[in-house]
């Protein structure tokens, strides 16, 4: 029998679609884990998502080699409604077990019956991997349920996902301050580059000001920019001036994006968070040749940066 005339081609497409969707679902779940400040679960989901892509490719290649240009199927696929990481782990485990115990064995049986031994072998091999996926998700779901993701009853090895250092203890060590600061610095720099400010002299000053505020748990509107600059620089006046110029640049950049396209993502995300909106409006009008420039508000910008960093 040709693959083109078989039921197996439909099963291959069902499997390809299932793996592709699993990859996306796990990538979305990884994002939610990141938002929940659980990088270890983010890694678990991303690691597994990468493997689902490989599975999808195996099935896709069979369809390609069989010259199946267009395949029509009806099938059911899950939508994972909850947003809690533990629930997502439990649901993922369930989907994996279904593939392992039910779907792929039956696809393998059909492929054998239709004379596609190689396809059958792949369905069986991948079914075994899905079992490992289910076990992995269950392991982490259990740790979450028992509140043991970061503590253990016995001495155990804790690996740093950043540098690979392993520490033996009953509890995961806190992220070292230097590492935390480095992560914050990178994140702030990324935001400034999105705002077209990374090349400005004052960009570094803004990062330093934000880091100081984060460390002290304060806001620029409480402390005042002058006092902060005095802590960081021998020449606080010029530091403040550089930073303000960088903010002017950011205001211009964001306003330009808004003039080009009011739905621009960077414009919609940052214009309201980092700048007084009336100033963005004024700057947009200025770019369009109407009226005076918007005013850069450094205090407002710094507090906006802190709030945006908190959101991520
Ligand atoms: Fe898979
Ligand atoms: Fe899987």
Task: Classify 3-145 by CATH class.
Answer: mainly alpha
How far is ligand 2, taken at its centre, from the CA of residue 110, in Å? 21
In this predicted structure, what is the pLDDT of residue 72? Answer: 96
Of the listed ligands, the closest to the CA of 55 is 1
How far is ligand 1, taken at its centre, from the CA of residue 19, in Å? 5
How far is ligand 1, taken at its centre, from the CA of residue 74, in Å? 19
Q: Compute CA 140 distance to the chain's CA centroid, rounded to the nearest angstrom.
A: 19
Q: Are 92 and 78 in contact (CB under 8 A)?
A: no
Rg from Cα positions in the chain: 27
- pLDDT, tens digit (0-9, with 9 covering 90-100), for 236-253: 999 999 999 999 999 999
Residue ranges with CB less than 5 Å from ion ligand 1: 19, 52, 55
Of the listed ligands, the closest to the CA of 92 is 2
Of the listed ligands, the closest to the CA of 132 is 2
How far is ligand 1, taken at its centre, from the CA of residue 22, in Å? 7
pTM above threshold 0.85: no
Q: How many CB atoms lie within 10 A of CB 181?
A: 14
Going by C-alpha positions, the residue among 78, 79, 77, 83 that lies closest to residue 29 is: 83
In this predicted structure, what is the pLDDT of residue 66? Answer: 97
How far is ligand 1, taken at its centre, from the CA of residue 119, in Å? 15
Please, where in the chain does CATH 1.20.1260.10 lie? Answer: 3-145
76 burial via Cβ count (<10 Å: 0-12, 13-18, 19+): exposed
Q: Are 61 and 5 in contact (CB under 8 A)?
A: no
- pLDDT, tens digit (0-9, with 9 covering 90-100), for 109-161: 999 999 999 999 999 999 999 999 999 999 999 999 999 999 998 999 998 87
* Conformation bin of residue 288: beta by default, left when phi > 0, alpha when psi is -120 to 50: alpha
| Helix, strand, or coil (residue 153) | strand
How far is ligand 2, taken at its centre, from the CA of residue 52, in Å? 6
Name the percent of the chain lying above pLDDT 70: 98
């Amino acid at each position: 029998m040709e693959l083109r005339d078989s039921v197996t081609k439909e099963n291959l497409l069902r499997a390809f679609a299932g793996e592709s969707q699993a990859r996306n679902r796990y990538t979305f779940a990884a994002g939610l884990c990141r938002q929940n400040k659980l990088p270890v679960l983010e890694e678990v989901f991303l690691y597994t998502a990468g493997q689902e892509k490989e599975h999808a490719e195996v099935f896709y290649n069979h369809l390609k080699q069989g010259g199946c240009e267009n395949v029509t199927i009806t099938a059911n696929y899950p939508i994972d409604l909850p947003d809690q990481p533990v629930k997502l782990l439990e649901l993922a485990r369930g989907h994996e077990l279904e593939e392992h115990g039910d779907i792929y064995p039956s696809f393998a049986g059909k492929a054998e019956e239709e004379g596609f031994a190689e396809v059958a072998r792949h369905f069986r091999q991948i079914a075994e991997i899905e079992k490992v996926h289910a076990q992995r998700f269950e392991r982490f779901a259990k740790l979450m349920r028992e509140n043991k993701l970061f503590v253990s009853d016995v001495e155990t090895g804790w690996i740093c996902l950043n540098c690979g250092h392993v520490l033996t203890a009953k509890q995961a060590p806190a992220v070292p301050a230097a590492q935390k600061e480095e992560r914050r610095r990178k994140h702030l720099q990324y935001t400034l580059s999105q705002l077209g400010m990374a090349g400005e002299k004052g960009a570094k000053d803004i990062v330093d000001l934000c880091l100081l505020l984060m460390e002290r748990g304060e806001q620029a509107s409480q402390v005042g920019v002058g006092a902060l600059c005095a802590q960081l620089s021998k020449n606080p006046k010029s530091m403040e001036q550089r930073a303000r110029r960088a903010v002017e640049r950011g205001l211009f950049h964001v306003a330009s994006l808004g003039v080009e396209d009011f739905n621009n993502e960077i414009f919609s995300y940052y214009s309201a968070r980092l700048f007084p909106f009336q100033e963005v409006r004024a700057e947009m009008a200025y770019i369009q040749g109407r009226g005076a420039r918007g005013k850069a508000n450094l205090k407002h910008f710094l507090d906006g940066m802190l709030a945006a960093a908190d959101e991520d």
